[in-house]
Structure formats: C-alpha cells, structure tokens
Amino acid sequence: MVRGVDYFARQSGLKTNHRTKIMSNKIRIGVIGVGRGQSFASAATDVVGMELVAICDHWEEKLKAVGEKFNVATYTDYDKFLEHDMDAVILANYFHQHGPFAVKALKAGKHVMSETASNTTLAEGVALCRTVEETGLTYMLAENYPFTAFNQEMRRVYQSGEIGEVTYAEGEYNHPMTPRSSLSISPGTNHWRNWIPSTYYCTHALAPLVYITGERVVRVNGLSIANDEVTRQYVRKGDPGSVILCRTGNGAVFRIFGLCLPGHSNWYRVHGSHGAMELARGSGYFGSGQVRVWHEEWDQKPGQLREQVYSPDWPEHGDLARKAGHGGGDFWTNFHFANAIRSGEPPFLDVYRGVEMSSVGIIAWKSALKEGTPIEVPDFRDEESRKAYENDHWSPWPEHAGPGQPPAGSSKSKPTKEALELARQVWTEGGYKGEDMV
C-alpha cells in the first residue's frame, strides 16, 4: 500500500520538484468537539499525512480525558485554540454553529473541514463563501455518506454513461432512535437535536445524489411530517420527518426523505435516460450493501446486461475504509481534505456544494411552513445571486429567538409526563446540570 507524501503528490498530479513546504510535512490538525470529533482525531494519521496537535471543547472533564488519550494540547477557548501552531481545523461541534466557527478559522489562516452542515442561515452561507474566496484556503464539507463503497460505485457507473442522464433520484436517511438513546445524546431542552427542523439534516440523503450525478439543486418544495404519537415520546420541538422535492439544474427531480420516523432507512436510487441503479434494499444499516443496475430490454446496448446485482468494493484503500465508521466515509473525509490541501485543488464537497446542500434544508423548511410552496435556491458561486441573502438570519434555534423567526416544528403537541420524567432521569445519569433541565 502506498502511503504519505508521495501518494498525495501522484493523486494530485504534482511533480516531485513542485512540492510546497506542506507537501513535505504532515498537515497539523486541530479538532473542535471531543464527542464526534474523536473519529476525525483518530483518522488524522500518517496514512493521510496528518498529525493531530490540538483539541477544543467546553466540556472540560471530557476534554482532559481525550487530551490525555491523544497526548495533544487542549483548549476551552476557541480563540486561543486558533492561535495554536497548526494548518487546519476540523469542526465537529454542534450542528448549528459551524458557519461562524469556520469563518473565524479561515480568517485565522486555517484550512477548514466542517461536518454535517456548512451553515444554518443563508447569511452564514454567503459569509462563508466570501471568506473562502477572500482567503484562498481550502474548505470542505465532511459529509461522509457519498464515500461508501456503493455510492462510489454508483458514481462510477453514472460517469461511464451506462444509465444516461439523471431524470429522477431518491435519497433516504431516516434514523429513528429509542427515547432513551435520543435523550442520551441531546442533554437539555435547548440542545440542537431537540430543536432541529425536520428538513435541516438533509445532507446524508442529498449529498450522495449530488456526488453521483454532479447536479446542483435550483428549487425545492418541502413538506414536514408531524405525528403526535411519535412526538409525545420525546422532548424535541422539531417534527420527526419530512420530504423534500429538489429540482435540479438539468430538470431532474430528487426526492429526499428523513429524519427519525419509525422504520430505519438509508437508501439511494438514480433513474437515468437509459436505465437505473440503486442500493439494494436489505435489513442492514446500509441495506444489503449491494448495487443493482438495470435496463429496459428494448433499450439494452449490445453486450449490456439487462440486470445485475453485485457487492462493490472501494476502488482503493478498502482495507482502511472498512475499519472506519459511517460505511468507510470517516476515512475518506480526512483523505480528501488532506489531498485538497496538498494539491491546492478544491475538493468535490467544496464550500459552494456544502453551503448549497445545507441551504436546501433551510429553504425546504421555509417551504414546509407554506405547505410546500416552491422556493428558489441561490447560486452561491455567483455574488449577484447570493447577495440578496447576506442579511437573511432566519433561524429556528432558541438563541436566535425574536420577531419573525420560525418555529422548529409544526406540531402543537407536548411530551407526555413519562417522557419528561425519562428526560430528567437520563440527563441526571449523564451528569448534565444545565439550566434547561425539564
């Protein structure tokens, strides 16, 4: 297996005598967030040419333990953390905080990779795009689901032209949890998981479709799914599910479904002008893990199989991907981030795709509150298109509460007495002492 600087030089098309200083040294990484952030910290290894040097979190007890585990510097102050001698920052803090944290890191001269959402207001998205352009630094959305073996294979099939141009596609990320499990990762009534609108956590379902086809979303219709029987079991404000219809630049339609309705589903399908393909259904977290490709009999090309179902592997580094979380995606995010820094070329999940996909969730919630009214998605690559949203601070989060701000959900139901008692119990067991205990 090829590792280290030489590998990245070849992948980037760089000649040996053109390497910059960073090409001959490890990329020094700082991670914010000692929960989910440990996955990124663990993956910052020689294999991808990274070295973890610092971590940051407000959770002092956990911070100390994780700092000792990795033997790195620890910080509770983000500004002090950014003064540490490092090249890049990985943001694994709360979902709705990434935009401002990324802007601050970029302005401090650090490359940035941000998990799950690039921005949670349209104004944050505009500011982030401008900052990346002004600094010239690398930005990547750490969306891991495009890099599963089956999604990489569907990207290969699509780019080969076998099924033609996309006409319709579906992406599902519906991840229900027991009330106890949900409460254990969302302590306090003001925790972001208890306030997230049903459309916001859309990139796990949308990003693989964008990665496979290369299309961008230009318009969305959103519908939220409120179910009192489900909602009353939890203390969250957001609805448990939604459907988003996305019109793409080539006229296709993507249907996005999630978020935590009973019935786990992680699944993708793409229909083209000359066939279709999908992740075969199954009982596992990622279905069967197999790819199914099929064509109409009358549309088959000479030598083409009418239907095939097979288990794909990654085109390279499968041994490392199989050891990583999220279907191997946790290896590939660090891999592509490091490669982008070294090559100077933007990653596929660059700032524009990151902001665009994150904004689909925001705009879909605006649509859902109007029962599915279609709403345009600005082209964040274009200053004229995005400028209209530079002061759009529309936000459901409790710290942004005020006149004109939206609700986090459409249901008026309240948690049962049993749900509130369970919340107090779980949060107390976990040592939570916040003011927003129920």
DSSP state, 116? S
Give the model's pLDDT for residue 5. Answer: 36
Give the model's pLDDT for residue 176. Answer: 95
Give the model's pLDDT for residue 20. Answer: 36
Identify the structural domains of the chain with CATH numbers, from first to last: 4-141 (3.40.50.720), 145-324+348-400 (3.30.360.10)
Q: How far is CA 280 from CA 75, 210, 235, 336, 431, in A?
A: 45, 19, 35, 27, 42
Q: What angle do CA 401, 108, 22 make, to 5 degrees?
A: 135
Give the model's pLDDT for residue 10. Answer: 39
Give the model's pLDDT for residue 271. Answer: 98
Q: What is the CA radius of gyration of the chain?
A: 22
Give the model's pLDDT for residue 100. Answer: 97
Task: Give the helix/strand (H/E) hosting 276.
Answer: strand 275-279
Whose structure tokens read 């990151």? Answer: 354
The amino acid occupying position 28 is: R
Pairwise CA distance, residues 122 & 124, whole Å: 5
Counting beta carbons within 10 angstroms of the beta carbon of residue 146, is it exposed (0 to 12), middle (13 to 18) or buried (19 or more)?
buried
Q: What is the mean pLDDT of each run of 10 residues along the chain (438 residues)?
A: 36 33 72 90 88 93 92 96 97 95 98 94 98 98 95 97 98 96 94 96 97 98 95 93 98 97 95 97 82 96 94 88 84 94 96 98 98 98 97 96 94 92 94 84
Give the model's pLDDT for residue 8. Answer: 38
C-alpha 292, offset from chain centre: 25
| HSE-up of residue 140 (Cα within 13 Å, Cβ side) | 25
Pairing of strands 291-294, 88-91: unpaired
Give the model's pLDDT for residue 16. Answer: 30
Long-range contacts of 309-318 (CB under 8 A, 24+ apart): 309/280, 312/149, 312/150, 312/152, 312/153, 313/149, 314/149, 314/152, 315/152, 315/156, 317/1, 318/149
DSSP state, 109? T
> What backbone torsions phi and psi does residue 320 show, to the nearest 5 degrees?
-80, -40
Tens of pLDDT along 229-265?
999 999 999 999 999 999 999 999 999 999 999 999 9
